[in-house]
Amino acid sequence: MHFEYTIIENDFANAGTASSAIKKTLKQLNIDSAKIKRVVVAVYEAEVNAIAHAYGGTIYVDIDGEQIVVRIADKGPGIPDVALAMQEGYSTASPKVREMGFGAGMGLPNIKNNVDKLDIKTEINVGTEITMAVKF
């Protein structure tokens, strides 16, 4: 199964719509609820990141019998120091993002904690591509 969702820059009102759709699909496939939670928490964090830091992007979802692979590609500014961004507590979030209850520097570390595989490709002024996989 393959799905794609578009993320629009600064569209905070719709942050979570892709994660919500993924949750419904996984429920229909009778995936264990703890696994579903790991997937959608990671995707939601990435969705918020793409809206907050990048200029929107696209989410590509592939589901087969063994795993779900989600790739979030944005055309944002890129992450200058990935190791620093993975460090809990480090954040470059705007006051607006903080008002929404995010921006504490917990997003990327929490994504890592929830998925079985995480790959971050990033290039300054080109964009960031995060690929995550959770095995069923």
Partner 1 sequence: MIYKIYMKIKEIAKLLDATFITGEQLAESEIDFAFASDLMSDVLTLKQADRILLITGLCNIQTIRTAEMANVEVVLFVRNKNVTNEMIEIAEEENMVLLQCKYSMFRAVGMLYVQGLQPVY
The residue ranges that bind partner 1 (CB under 8 A) are 12-13, 15-16, 19-20, 23, 33-34, 37, 40-41, 44-45, 48, 99-104, 106-107, 110, 113
- The C-alpha atoms of residue 6 and residue 81 are separated, in whole angstroms, by 26
Q: Which of 12/60 has CB closer to partner 1?
A: 12
Query: Got the DSSP string for 46-111?
Result: HHHHHHHHSSEEEEEEEE-SSEEEEEEEE-S---S-HHHHTSTT-----HHHHHTT--SS-HHHHH
Closest contact distance (angstroms) between CB of 126 and partner 1 is: 27
Q: Which of 53/127 has CB closer to partner 1?
A: 53
Closest contact distance (angstroms) between CB of 86 and partner 1 is: 14
Cβ neighbours, 10 Å, residue 38:
19
Q: Which of 97/127 has CB closer to partner 1?
A: 97
- The C-alpha atoms of residue 93 and residue 12 are separated, in whole angstroms, by 13
User: Amino acid identity of 122?
Assistant: T
Closest contact distance (angstroms) between CB of 39 and partner 1 is: 9
- The C-alpha atoms of residue 135 and residue 2 are separated, in whole angstroms, by 16
Closest contact distance (angstroms) between CB of 125 and partner 1 is: 27
Q: Which of 16/77 has CB closer to partner 1?
A: 16
